[in-house]
Amino acid sequence: MAEAHRRSGIRGDEAAAGWLFVAPAVLILGLFLVLPIGMALWVSVSGWNGQGSPFAPGVPYVGAQNYASLFVEDGLTRENFMISIRNNLYYVAVAVPAQTLLALALALVVNQRFLKGTSFFRTAFYFPSVTSSVAISVVFLFLFANSGAVNALLAAFGISGPAWFADPRGLLHLLLGGLGLVDVANPPAALTGGGPFGLSWWEWLAGPSVAMSTIIMLVVWTTSGTFMLIFLAALQDVPVQVEEASLIDGANAWQRLRHVTLPMLKPALFLVVTLGLIGTWQVFDQIYVMSQGKPANTTLTPAYLSYRTAFSDFEYGVGAAISFVLFLIIVVMTLLQRWIMRDRDEPRPRRRWWPRRGSTS
Amino acid sequence: MVRAGLRALAVVCLLALAACGPPPGPVPQRTGPADLQILIGSSGAAETKAVTDAAAAWAAASGNAVTVIPAQDLDQQLGQAFAGSSPPDVFYVDAARFADFASVGALEPYADALAAAGDFYPTLRQAFTYQGRFYCAPKDFATLALQINEDLWARAGLSAADVPRDWAQLTAVAERIAARGITPLALGDTVERIGAFLVQAGGWLISPDGTKATADSPQNAAALTYVQRLLRAGLARYPSALDTGWAGEAFGRGLAAMTIEGNWIKGALAGDYPDVRYTVHALPAGPAGEGTLSFTTCWGISARTPYRSQAVAFVQAMTAVDQQLAFASAYGVMPSVVTARDRYLQAFPADRAFLDGAGHAQGPVNAPKMGNVLSDFDTQLQRLAVADPQAILRRLQRNMTAALRG
């Protein structure tokens, strides 16, 4: 309040002028961001059937009905939604660490001073990121076709490659079956009997399907270039003096990376993981171009399911509800990640979660 | 300051709401020359050109203006247009999606008033009837038939007399072909192909009036069990198992001696595999007699068009016998009216099996909200070889019942 009083003197008109200056930004953000989100929120609690305006009188308000059909009601809608969540969980769990590690590794490599032709490699690694994802998807379709280049390569090593895009078997199922722990054709009743949200534990534990893993490979390959660039920018910001100081202290290469470089890359790492999480939860164009959810719904993702539910089944309410759940998932994941990577400034005893053998310190 | 912000937001909201389109209610009709927007889901350049030319000719003769827009993704573009309250006046409606459109009131039910309403094949009329009203005029149609690769047929020691007429004969010839190391039948792995077996067995997924699910009937179980036997014995294979995208590709590449596809296979084979010698026959009959599936599209007229009478006149011109025969020769579809039958057969005698299918053809499942349910059924059918047909049908019955209720 004191602030407000003080301002009413000679600089009293600044508030109006300030609003005037930010008006274009407020208008544009309001019109294209806040308002559409509000409209979509209304659609997600309405029974709008896609005819005319969703705000016309006569469009029924159904409350949480659309959300209930996703979580509570036993039916195909919930099953498809949960399958899409499962697929995307595995997708995120594999793609985000893989693309982050690959990007970091690439950035460390092209940041080396002794490397010749760095700019060539930087361009080469970045190239997939600037190419249209649709074009890359189509190329991958050819590469992973049953008689495509990948299977031809595998055949050269005497391996009979799978029918990549037609193979709905989950990798975890294959692994468990391969280890002889379970019989995949006849899974244990304890797992098939029940599970959360109408999907049996056996289905939750399927892992990414063979078809999904090709899409993961594609995405890791295309996005790592962008993230490499972010890491590279951060690496170039690491002062040479710090590294030299650690050299003088007698740190070896691994120690320099682990205790000097990586801590200084933390903001970049946060950015990369956040962008990765958001991007992977929203995966759409690769699915739309390559698989449309096939085979056996194992490449169905919430983003694609939302589109399909709204535009081909005319269930706009459920489609909007799916996108809001997806929005919440992304927000929660990002907050969680922020919490995990938070700065711990207070001095604390160094703890390890693994015992250090042969160490007296 | 907060209040100013709220005010600004309120202004933005009002601006946006004003742009949200006209209120609902009957659309005032306009007379005189119309400017019709026609959105078509074209099968290719030939169809686009034929429809554009026909529309231009009609426009010139009637004094109206017509714009034909070929859609990239018809479903999505229509969905967007309806949501934005600016739908095209006339557009293609696929029979599989028809009930979705009709149930939300997007379509004008004009077809019963057409002079030629009684001339359409009954199976096509039924495909575009929702709650007892015949909504839109079928544009053309296609049916499934059995294609036989002459060379592979001869190599298996079979002759024209061996063309299978029922399921038992189909199994018998398939075994003889398989004995030569040739895949007998390439069969699409969706309800749009396997459904024909259901019809031949006397079953179908939904009651004729589209209100009750009839999926878990013994007839349907018999049909799926028969297809399962073919798959398990290697007498039939899905296209993916033959390393192909669809059964027509497998057939064209000579990977299978027979396939079950519709009229579109003619154009596909002529374009991609011109050297394949093949003949077309009626599908083998099942325990309940002959049966096939029909695929059709209608000329939907938007319930929101201000040019209703002009749009009906346009559709009347497009479905006239001569016009349909012109379309038939331009891009290989079958006319939807019975009176065009004889002239079509004179021009395309090889298509008799396809055209005769109209007599015992079943259209797509005619009920709203079935897209999800049927794609789930397709998913189940893909693993038919290892799954229990009864369980698949029970699941389908449950899903269909739920979708019909809500």
The first and second tokens of residue B211, run together, are 């209100």
| Cross-chain Cβ contact A57/B80 below 8 Å | no
DSSP-based three-state secondary structure for B403: helix
Strand partners, B142: B295
List, run by run, the mean pLDDT of 10-residue segments along chain A (361 residues).
53 84 94 92 90 83 91 88 94 95 92 81 86 89 85 88 82 87 78 82 89 92 92 90 89 88 90 92 91 86 92 87 94 89 64 53 41
Exposure b/e, B50-86, CB count within 10 A at least 16 = b: bbbebbeebbeeeebebebebbeebbebbbebbbebe
Look up the pTM and report it: 0.82
Read off φ and ψ for residue B206, nearest 5 degrees.
-140, 150
Domain B34-143+296-355 part of CATH 1.20.1440.230: no
Residue A350 pLDDT: 56
Q: For tokens 């890791």, name the residue.
A: A220
Burial class (CB in 10 A: 0-12, 13-18, 19+), A357: exposed
A309 interaction partners in chain B (CB closer than 8 Å):
372
Mean local confidence (pLDDT), B159-173: 95
Residue A178 pLDDT: 86
| Nearest Cβ partner for B12 among A31, A53, A309 | A31
Query: Does the structure show a pLDDT above 60 at B201?
Result: yes
**Domain A69-147+210-340 homologous superfamily, CATH:** MetI-like (1.10.3720.10)
B391 interaction partners in chain A (CB closer than 8 Å):
none
Element (H, E) at B378: helix B371-382
DSSP A68-86: HHHHTS-SHHHHHHHHHHH
Q: In this predicted model, what pLDDT tens digit does every residue of B247-297 receive, in sequence order?
A: 999 999 999 999 999 999 998 899 889 999 999 999 999 999 999 999 999
> What is the nearest CA distance from B379 to chain A, expressed in angstroms?
5
DSSP B28-92: PP--SS-EEEEEE--SSHHHHHHHHHHHHHHHHHHT-EEEEEE-SSHHHHHHHHHHTT---SEEE
Rounded Cα distance between A89 and B70, Å, is 38
A166 interaction partners in chain B (CB closer than 8 Å):
240
**Cβ(A305)–Cβ(A284) below 8 Å:** no
Nearest CA in chain A to B382: A296
| Nearest Cβ partner for B82 among A38, A50, A80 | A50
The first and second tokens of residue B277, run together, are 């010698």
> What is the nearest CA distance from B330 to chain A, expressed in angstroms?
30
Given its phi and psi angles, is residue B128 left (phi above 0), alpha (psi -120 to 50 degrees) or beta?
Answer: alpha
DSSP B245: S
CB atoms within 10 A of CB B248: 24
> What is the nearest CA distance from B381 to chain A, expressed in angstroms?
10
Query: What rounded mean pLDDT belongs to chain B?
Result: 90
What band does B25 get if pLDDT is binned at 50, 70 and 90? low
Rounded Cα distance between B328 and B335, Å, is 7
Same fold, B34-143+296-355 and B145-293+365-405: yes
B1 interaction partners in chain A (CB closer than 8 Å):
15, 19
| Cross-chain Cβ contact B75/A311 below 8 Å | yes
B79 interaction partners in chain A (CB closer than 8 Å):
50, 310-312, 314
CATH of B145-293+365-405, one of 3.40.50.1970, 3.30.565.10, 3.40.190.10, 3.40.50.150: 3.40.190.10
Rounded Cα distance between B82 and B80, Å, is 6
Name which of B372, B394, B398, B404 to mutate to probe chain A: the one with the most chain A Cβ atoms within 10 A of its Cβ: B372
- Chain A: residues touching B (Cβ < 8 Å): 15, 19, 23, 26-27, 30-31, 34-35, 38-39, 49-58, 75-77, 80, 146-147, 163, 166, 168, 185, 295-297, 309-316
B76 interaction partners in chain A (CB closer than 8 Å):
311-312
Burial class (CB in 10 A: 0-12, 13-18, 19+), B257: buried
| Cross-chain Cβ contact B4/A19 below 8 Å | yes
Written in H, E and C, the secondary structure of A101-146 is HHHHHHHHHHCCCCCCCHHHHHHHHHHHHHCCHHHHHHHHHHHCCC
Nearest one of B102, B21, B75 to A52, comparing CA atoms: B21
Mean local confidence (pLDDT), B299-319: 94
Residue B8 pLDDT: 44
| Cross-chain Cβ contact B100/A76 below 8 Å | no
Strand partners, B141: B296, B334
A146 interaction partners in chain B (CB closer than 8 Å):
243
Query: In A164-284, which residue ranges form alpha helices assigned H by DSSP?
Result: 171-178, 189-192, 201-204, 210-237, 240-248, 253-256, 262-264, 266-281
Would you kindly state where each structural domain of chain A is located, as residue ranges? 69-147+210-340
DSSP B294: E
**Cβ(A181)–Cβ(A143) below 8 Å:** no
Rounded Cα distance between B385 and B376, Å, is 16
Residue A5 pLDDT: 52
Indicate whether this complex's ipTM tops 0.85: no
> What is the nearest CA distance from B179 to chain A, expressed in angstroms?
26
Query: Does the structure show a pLDDT above 80 at B6?
Result: no
What band does B335 get if pLDDT is binned at 50, 70 and 90? very high
Q: Could you give the percent of chain B with pLDDT greater than 70?
A: 94
| Cross-chain Cβ contact A310/B79 below 8 Å | yes
> What is the nearest CA distance from A167 to chain B, expressed in angstroms?
10
Would you kindly state where each structural domain of chain B is located, as residue ranges? 34-143+296-355, 145-293+365-405
> What is the nearest CA distance from B385 to chain A, expressed in angstroms?
13
**Cβ(B283)–Cβ(B292) below 8 Å:** yes
Q: For tokens 């229509």, name the residue.
A: B78
Nearest one of B262, B328, B271, B269 to B50, comparing CA atoms: B328
- Chain B: residues touching A (Cβ < 8 Å): 1, 4-5, 8-9, 12-13, 15-17, 20-24, 75-76, 79-80, 82-83, 85, 100, 104-106, 240, 243, 304, 368-369, 371-373, 376, 379, 382-383, 386, 399, 402-403
| Cross-chain Cβ contact B23/A314 below 8 Å | no
More confident residue, A245 or B13: A245
Nearest CA in chain B to A65: B406
| Nearest Cβ partner for B9 among A30, A53, A147 | A30
Residue A212 sits at the vertex; the CA angle it makes with A210 and A216, to the nearest 5 degrees, is 115
Written in H, E and C, the secondary structure of B312-345 is HHHHHHHCCHHHHHHHHHHHCCEECEHHHHHHHH
**Cβ(B173)–Cβ(B184) below 8 Å:** yes
Residue B299 pLDDT: 96
Range name among A191-195, A305-309, B341-345, B364-368 with the lowest pLDDT average: A191-195
Exposure b/e, B260-296, CB count within 10 A at least 16 = b: bbbbbbbbbbeeeeeebebebbbbbbbebebbbbbbb
Nearest CA in chain A to B20: A53
> What is the nearest CA distance from A250 to chain B, expressed in angstroms?
58
Q: Give A71-74 contacts, CB < 8 A, sequence gap 24+.
A: A71/A197, A74/A198
Rounded Cα distance between B372 and B363, Å, is 18
| Cross-chain Cβ contact A312/B240 below 8 Å | no
**Cβ(A298)–Cβ(A275) below 8 Å:** no
| Nearest Cβ partner for B373 among A76, A185, A311 | A76
Half-sphere exposure of B99 (CA within 13 A, CB side): 21
| Cross-chain Cβ contact A55/B17 below 8 Å | yes
Rounded Cα distance between B382 and B184, Å, is 18
End-to-end Cα separation, chain A, in angstroms: 55
Range name among A51-60, B42-51, B125-134 with the lowest pLDDT average: A51-60
DSSP A187-207: --HHHHS--GGG--HHHHTT-
- Residues in chain B, total: 406
**Cβ(B345)–Cβ(B355) below 8 Å:** yes
